[in-house]
Structures are given as structure tokens and as C-alpha cells.
Amino acid sequence: MSQVSRTKIIERLGTLVAQTPTYWFAILFPALLFAHNPHAILHAEFWGEDGIVWYSQARDMGLASLLEPNGGYLNSLQRLVAIAAQPFPLAWGPTLFALFALCMQSAPAVFLMSKRMVTAWPDGLPRFMFALLFILMPNAPETSLNVTNSQWYLAILMFLVLVSDTPKKRYLQIFDSLVLIVSGLSGPFGVLFFPVAAIRTLTSRLDERPNRIWRSMVLGAASSVQLLLILGISHAGRKTGPLGASTALLLKILSLVPMGAELGYRTVSSLLHNSFFFENIIPIIIVTLSFLIISFAFLRGPRILREFIFFSTAMFALALFKPLISLSLPQWPLILNPPAGNRYFLYPMIAWWGSLFVMASSEYRFARLSAVSLLTLTFFFAVPSDWGDLLKLSETDFVARAHQLDASQPGTIIKLPEHPTGMEMVVTQRREPVINSQEVIDSDLNELIKKPVGQCVVDTVNGAPKSTQLTFAPDKVISLVGWTVTSAKVAPKQAKIVLLNRSIHYAFKTSIGLFRPDVQAALNSAGAYKSGYSSAISLKSVPSGSYTMYMLLSTKEADQLCTLDLKLNVDSN
């Protein structure tokens, strides 16, 4: 293909990108991000502070949680998401958080493709390729699709707002203000971006200046609040382990920026366990070449790149000065054990790729070929290598525990698991139980009752150990927790609590799926692991009388009836 033909194709692609409405990117980028990591959405789990801090404190404190610092500063974005999730069932929490994180992670790329970025980055095709790389980004498992680290992406959106053209429409001005306020009050990023906003204001055209002054004032106010907290008493509570710093470690950590960007998370994680990487000469070579590339781009690149390189360098330096990875172990050695501290490499990697995009358009052939080669390595090796679920979180029984909390009596304390493994969200039930629906039974109970099969047990009734004889008034709600397995010693797909006397029966839905390793061990059956259930039964529709309690278990073959060895007396006296 001739040079003229290549030029025409590039021009046509650039025209196509320029003519594409922004809303198409708002559809494309989230879809690609979902395809990149579907497990994080379809099997969502809380990560880090998602549950134990943001959700729990929003549940307990409401709007007042917005004023609660964490890590030495306010975290408004995470707390607003947690507050917005409160009207919905707790079981939906991880999925709602993951969906918001999906939107937040896509937002900078969508904004980058808007017409407001044409002045800052005129070339549409390279801008699209960069936005695409941002969505397909390798070596970013820790920050991907969780609310705890969404502030890192909101800060990028804040930067793009600051360097974009000032909008004329009121709703866009309101959008800019909201981004600056929320991002400025979510982490320390606004403090470092304020110089960018101030310099942009001083060097702006007269017709833009009022809008830029307003941006600077909004960001300055938010940053001042965060700076006071960072320098004040709040930050004194940010406890971490010793730094464990050394020159050799610094070189290795710095070399992970281009290595992660070019090779991806999986490859770098493997290389870190290879002894050759710990030879100091290799990190020195990598750091030296990287410094030359970034310096070249800084000196010859556009203003937007210089501003971001300044920010990412300052942010990375602060992260290394005061990392938060472990409360007891030395911090720097842990950074060499991914995914620990992986979030700190996000901005330096973006600055690295930005530098390569600048070099790729250089008039110097060697610089241009080098940059194109490195970008090709990223797109065709690092991205495919890291495609999929980098941190495929192991399944927990969070949803089943959430249903157990819903079915429990006020004052009941439930521990819900989250990730990283070992973290638990402790929640106290402060509401009345959510009553499980009454069910219609299609099976012939008269036949099933002749030969009960399977095993089923009630462990607690209203949070207390059960007895063989239960007596409750008709207006009461009974909270039951236990376990059940079919005749094959596996957890059933569905299970119903059945109250049966001579003339009538009542059936109530249960939530099954609580992890019961004790039952699995006792029965020596892997299929019994998810055999725990919970249910809240309302007796309002149950006439006074004596009932025998059973469980109706749904299996692939046929329903089974299991006896609970319990008698329930519904007594109105």
C-alpha cells in the first residue's frame, strides 16, 4: 500500500471519528469495558472499603457519612454512591456498585471523544485510539470496576474538564461544577490539579476567563477542605506500616510503569518472580530509557500532556512517600507483589502512553518507529494478555447473607463477606423482617409425606437455638435459619417451609445458598456447601392450631419432602 493510500485511509477514519456523535461512544465504551471483565458485573462482590466503610456507614449515618473522613480526607464519590444505594435491597449492593463503577470508568473516555476536547487534542483518530486504550487498559486490576477506586477515574474526568473548552450551555456548566466539587472532595487529587486550573485561568482568552475563574474557585474551595484535612488531625490517623524504602526498590518500582504498560499485569506478575529482574542493571536501563522518552514528549508534546505528566509525577511521588497497602508490613516491598499498590501505577501508565502517542507523530523517524513499536506491543500483546477477569474474585455467600439479614429480627448482627478475602462487613438489623412470600404448592403432599427424604434442620428461631415445640401468636413473624440437602446430599435449587395439619397446608419461600462448610464436612459432600437457608414467615394468614413443619425441596428430577421434626402452635391466646 502506497503512502498516499495510507494517508487517505487515515483521513477517512479521522473524518468518521469526528462525525460520530458522542452518545455512540457512551454506548461503545461501557460495552467494551463489560466485555473486558464480565465476571465483575455478573457476579459482583464488594471490594475493599465498598461494604465495610462506604455502605455500612451510609446505612448507619445517612447523609452525615459525607462528613466522615477516611484515609485522611473526604471521599464524597464513594459515599454518594453508597447513600444512593440505600433504598434498594442490600443484596443488590455489590451489583449497583459495580454498575456505577462501570459508568465512572467509562466517563473519561467518553468525555475525551466529545467536541469539547477538540481544541486540547485536535486529531480525532489518535484521540479515539487513546480513548480505546484507556478502556482496554492492561495492568489495572485493582482499580477496575469497584467503587472504592472509582475516584481515580473521576480525577481523570476532572482533569479533562479543566483542560476542555468552556461550555456555553448552562447544563454543561452545571456538569463541570458537579465534577469539580465531587472530585475535589474525593481524595487528594484536586489539590494537585488546582495549579493546572489556576494557570489555565491566567492564560485563557478574555471570553473564556469568567468560566475558568469559576472553575478555579470551585476546585480551590474543595481542595482547601481536603488540604486542611490532609494536614490536620484527620490525616494523623492514617496508620501504615514502615516504608521499607531503598534505592534498589525505587528503581524496580519505577521500572514497573513501562513494563506494566507494555507487557500487562499477567506477564509482569510472572517476571517479578524471576530472579533476573532483581539484577539492578535491568531496572536502571528500563528507567533511563523511560525517562528519555517521557522527557522528549514533555518538551515536544502539547500542553495537555505536560500538565498530566506533572500531575502523575506528583501523584506517584506522594503515593510512594505515603502508600497505604499494609498496616504493619513494609510498604515498598509489597508493591513488588501485585496487585498490592497496583492503583498507584494508573496515572504514570497513562502519562507513558500519552508520551508514546506524541513520539508516534514525531518528525524523527527513529523516535516515531520506536513509539509505534511500543504502542503496537501494548495493543497486540498487553491488552490481549490481560483480557478477561484479572482479579476474578472468588464467590461468596454475600447475597444469601443479605437475605438472612432481611429475614432476621431487629437487633440481629450478621457478618457479610467481601474482598480481599478475610474482610467482613458487620451489619445490625434495625428494621422489621422482610417477610418471605407465601407460595403455592403444585406437588401432591399426601404422596410425598408418606416417604420423607433428604435432611433439613432449623438451627435458630428468631436468633435463638430452636426447640422442638414452638408457640407463637398469629401476628408474629418467625425468622428461621438452618440447612437442608436432598437425598443426594446436595443443596436443592429451591426450598419452601411447609406448615401442615390434617386439613390444610401453608408454604413459604426461603433464601438458600448460605455457605455451610460444617455441613459439607459432616456429610462428606461437596454439594452440601451451599445448603444454608433463611426465611421470615408471617403467621397472619395462618389460622390458630398445631402444625408439623416440613421443607419442600426442588430438584431436577422431582420434588422431595423433608421433615424438620418441629411442631408449631399458632395460639391467639
73 and 8, same structural domain? yes
* 408 located within any domain: no
312 and 229, same structural domain? no
Q: From 238, 261, 276, give the residue that closes a domain.
A: 238
Q: How many domains does the chain have?
A: 3
pLDDT band of 155, cuts 50, 70, 90 = very high
C-alpha distances in Å from residue 326, one per residue of 73, 323, 383, 462: 18, 9, 29, 39
567: its cell numbers:
411442631
pLDDT band of 104, cuts 50, 70, 90 = very high
101 and 65, same structural domain? yes
What mean pLDDT is predicted for residues 306-330? 90
Please tell me the distance from the alpha carbon of residue 269 to that of residue 273, in angstroms, as a whole number.
Answer: 7
* Local structure of 489: helix, strand or coil: coil
Cβ atoms of 252 and 274 within 8 Å: the answer is no
Structure-model confidence comparison of residues 378 and 7, the more confident one: 378
Tell which residue, 110, 141, 107, 149, has the closest CA to residue 39: 141
Mind listing the pLDDT tens digit for each residue in 31-54?
999 999 999 999 999 999 999 999
490: its cell numbers:
446436595
* 73 located within any domain: yes
Cβ atoms of 41 and 92 within 8 Å: the answer is no
Look up the domain containing 385 and give its range. 241-393
Helix or strand holding residue 251 (H, E): helix 247-263
509 and 470, same structural domain? yes
Q: Is the pLDDT of residue 233 over 60?
A: no
User: Which strands form 505-509's sheet, in the order they lie side by side?
Assistant: 438-439, 505-509, 494-500, 545-554, 560-570, 469-472
Cβ atoms of 296 and 359 within 8 Å: the answer is yes
What mean pLDDT is predicted for residues 127-136? 96
553 and 513, same structural domain? yes
Structure-model confidence comparison of residues 375 and 543, the more confident one: 375
- Per residue, the 3-state secondary structure of 235-248, as one string, reads HHCCCCCCCCCCHH
Report the pLDDT value the prediction gives residue 339, as an integer from 0 to 100. 85
470 and 368, same structural domain? no
303 and 231, same structural domain? no
Report the pLDDT value the prediction gives residue 194, as an integer from 0 to 100. 95
Report the pLDDT value the prediction gives residue 6, as an integer from 0 to 100. 66
* 57 located within any domain: yes
Structure-model confidence comparison of residues 359 and 446, the more confident one: 359
Q: From 393, 425, 446, give the residue that closes a domain.
A: 393
What mean pLDDT is predicted for residues 355-373? 94
* 407 located within any domain: no
331 and 207, same structural domain? no
Please tell me the distance from the alpha carbon of residue 331 to that of residue 350, in angstroms, as a whole number.
Answer: 23
159: its cell numbers:
482533569
Q: Is the pLDDT of residue 235 over 60?
A: no
Supply φ then ψ for residue 492, to 5 degrees: -75, 160
248 and 228, same structural domain? no
Please tell me the distance from the alpha carbon of residue 524 to that of residue 517, in angstroms, as a whole number.
Answer: 10
Which range of 8-17, 241-250, 408-417 scores highest in mean pLDDT? It is 408-417
Report the pLDDT value the prediction gives residue 263, as an integer from 0 to 100. 95
Question: What does the mean pLDDT of the chain come to?
Answer: 91
246 and 212, same structural domain? no
* 410 located within any domain: no
* 13 located within any domain: yes
* 414 located within any domain: no
61 and 170, same structural domain? yes
Q: What's 565's domain CATH number?
A: 2.60.40.10
140 and 63, same structural domain? yes
Q: From 393, 418, 446, give the residue that closes a domain.
A: 393
* 416 located within any domain: no
